Structure 1
């Protein structure tokens, strides 16, 4: 295995050579609140990455990865961000489902799904949250039963806040397969199913966000089917598998996210110096605290801190950065451009091909950051739930009363 610096040089040279020509226009596109930007082109870019072996770098070599160490994965994410490469489209498959299957899937499941994830041939979404069962996943009402004739799982229910479902071909779904018996744990009887979305019985509806776009969706299952062998872990063992996926989502995979955070903070600091906002002692203090907080986030991820602690820390850090951005911009933060009036490089957008519709206004980068980061403390496990988990599992405090 190459050293970290050799690995860093290899991905840096590759990005410099490839982010030119047909892919040069993709620099800086995509990301939270902007997932609609050039999606088809970014998909083609990521497939190009796969052809040269630069997807799934942290996966073991036997599954098509590079077996990169944690330090090498960090180097990859840093160089990717420094190159201003476009936001990835296959994060959910590569960073969440892939590691879950590697650790908990059958050999048949690994052979069927991992090569297609690595090649970016099939995209995935996460079917966890439901109306009335967001962070409290043990309360999910989506059900799956076995068909006595075919043995298939038949799925009925609704998922919500499903990121990029409108682009995905598959969804990993947490569903109740055994009714909860009195006196049993709330999460008993849940199963982790791999469900194809391109079939009768699946309806996907976009949710328009404050940013005017629609990365999130509602997904309705009405008699949707998936083969018997597409349950990860044993039937009824879905809670354990689902927690493993959440661990990947809130753990090492946040390293790449933090590189993006650092770029946002650097840009905001430069803006504060340019417009004089940094001369305000309160703004200066908040910028310094943001810098120190980002260093703490990195340390949490590198040392393998509790996933709930990691999620709680980064979500509040990023939300606070969005609020600070408006403070730095001052009164101009309340103004928006009319459609089509944005100039190149302004950070504002109006994309008639977006999944959502920005409507009668355009947002700049800082307004979009403020609006989208309001959701950070809610999705992927709300802050209230994370604090409860930390209190009970880390501090050993009494459990909250549950029905």
Structure 2
């Protein structure tokens, strides 16, 4: 794999930079710089998506026939790198990055024609209905039932940790359409309109005070059989295909690099203000150097994985490697930042940053100015949010089991 930039690559990079300079509004850049969660709020995400839509750059990995860019590995890497450097807010991946690729790979012609254009335009905002009480990492034990009734399924069950369910109008779910001796069998991949009678959403407040995750209860929810993706009872294969996109196939290294540089600047600023912290700063510099090496190794893995995707292959077990290393590196960066911020990290002031959702019950002070240097404002909330990184999309313990089996043959 040739990693050197061609003249065409550099021209594309310059085009992306010019576009971001012209179209990425200061208020959107501010959200990207001060974001404390994995996702931006719905309205921010859709505002940025509308700008990308006008340019035709909403879905870099989708085929052109479905409204995507069909970019090369290099172009996608350059685009992701420049987005990170410019502090662009992230788009919600639930539709564009997960359900969309699944529909392209497994959906009917009617499903593609209806849902894909609406995903691109942001007319449908998606959430993911996988985890249940008692069925998280052991997803095959899920119990949400879907009972056939003519041309419909009647769905009853409880999903939880559902990101942005309170603001989504569609959810893709794994449901149990039959009970089999092997639990992976009898699971069906189903698209459900959140506005259907019997769907109820209740908030889950995170450690950082944000309302991002939710409970979703389904009570006798009627869903057309036409909303099944793939075959009835074979949703586990569809789910594995989707989880490879959720766990891998993206680009994390450029964003981690930007964060690491910000943390390095924090350390130098703190050292300049407090010369007595020289020993602590030296220890933190060693940690940032170690993190930089690991990020470079992750970048090489990501480029290899993207190369496979560009050849038409689905992500393999390497996606588990990417998910594990990426989330643990991200957590490590939050720990270094927490140490660098010192006492300023203890101040709770979500009004100074951009949470991924509302912060119920919080009243900002009359004086909107933040306490301490601005680089410390996001540190604690980002640390708390990132604790979930090694759990969501399949816990990292599960990812290591997958790697041991698929790569090492254990």
Question: Could you tell me the TM-score, scaled by structure 2's length?
Answer: 0.85
- Give the superposition deviation at 1:395: 2.2
1:3-402 correspondence to structure 2 within 5 Å: 3-19=8-24, 23-29=25-31, 31-33=35-37, 35=39, 37=41, 39-88=42-91, 90-148=92-150, 151-181=151-181, 185-253=182-250, 255=251, 257-276=252-271, 280=280, 281-304=282-305, 306-337=318-349, 348-349=352-353, 354-357=357-360, 359=362, 364-397=377-410
Q: Distance in 2 between matches of 1:233 and 1:117?
A: 19
Q: Distance in 1 between matches of 2:278 and 2:82?
A: 28
Do the aligned partners of 1:144 and 1:154 also contact (CA within 8 Å) in 2?
yes
**What secondary structure is seen at the aligned counterpart in 2 of 1:271?**
helix
Q: Distance in 1 between matches of 2:112 and 2:190?
A: 14
Q: Distance in 2 between matches of 1:386 and 1:335?
A: 35
**What secondary structure is seen at the aligned counterpart in 2 of 1:109?**
helix
- Give the superposition deviation at 1:354: 5.0
- Give the superposition deviation at 1:226: 2.1
Do the aligned partners of 1:211 and 1:358 also contact (CA within 8 Å) in 2?
no
Determine which structure has the larger helix proportion and give its number: 2
More relative contact order, 1 or 2 (CA 8 Å, 6+ apart): 2
Do the aligned partners of 1:162 and 1:219 also contact (CA within 8 Å) in 2?
yes
**What secondary structure is seen at the aligned counterpart in 1 of 2:165?**
coil
Q: Distance in 1 between matches of 2:294 and 2:407?
A: 21
Cα shift readout 1:317-338 (whole Å, capped 9, x = no counterpart): 111111111112223333345x
Gaps of 5+ in 2: 1-6, 272-276, 306-316, 365-369, 371-375
- Give the superposition deviation at 1:373: 1.1
**What secondary structure is seen at the aligned counterpart in 2 of 1:314?**
helix
Alignment coverage as a number of residue pairs: 375
Gaps of 5+ in 1: 341-347, 398-403
- Give the superposition deviation at 1:42: 3.9
RMSD: 2.3
Do the aligned partners of 2:353 and 2:378 also contact (CA within 8 Å) in 1?
no
